[in-house]
Amino acid sequence: MTRRNYRGSLVDVSFDKDLCRHAAECVRGMPEVFDTQRRPWIDPLVAGTSERADHLREVVGRCPSGALRIEEHDPSAAGGAR
């Protein structure tokens, strides 16, 4: 298992290349985040607004293999703790 984490400002995305079936749902759904010509090819920092983070969650949810996963940031680290 080779899951790697890609850090974003609102959410992270992790990717396991052994699971990827190259269906390209990710690249079609959000090419500004998933760009196979770029290194690193996943850049969740691009999804820096809550609308874009929601879209990213939706696109990651379409990945048919489970290779992509949203890694939510710890909400208690966002200043919500008493």
Summarize as ranges the residues that interact with ligand SF4 (CB under 6 A).
20-26, 63-65, 67-68
Residue 16: CB minimum distance to ligand SF4, A: 9
Residue 15: CB minimum distance to ligand SF4, A: 6
Q: Please identify, using beta-carbon distances, which residue of 39 and 74 lies nearer to ligand SF4.
A: 39
Tokens in use for 9?
């400002």
Residue 26: CB minimum distance to ligand SF4, A: 3
Q: Please identify, using beta-carbon distances, which residue of 43 and 74 lies nearer to ligand SF4.
A: 43
Q: Please identify, using beta-carbon distances, which residue of 18 and 51 lies nearer to ligand SF4.
A: 18
3-state secondary structure (DSSP) of residue 43? coil
Nearest-angstrom CA–CA distance, 23 and 81: 40
Number of helical H runs and strand E runs in the chain = 2, 3
Nearest-angstrom CA–CA distance, 58 and 55: 5
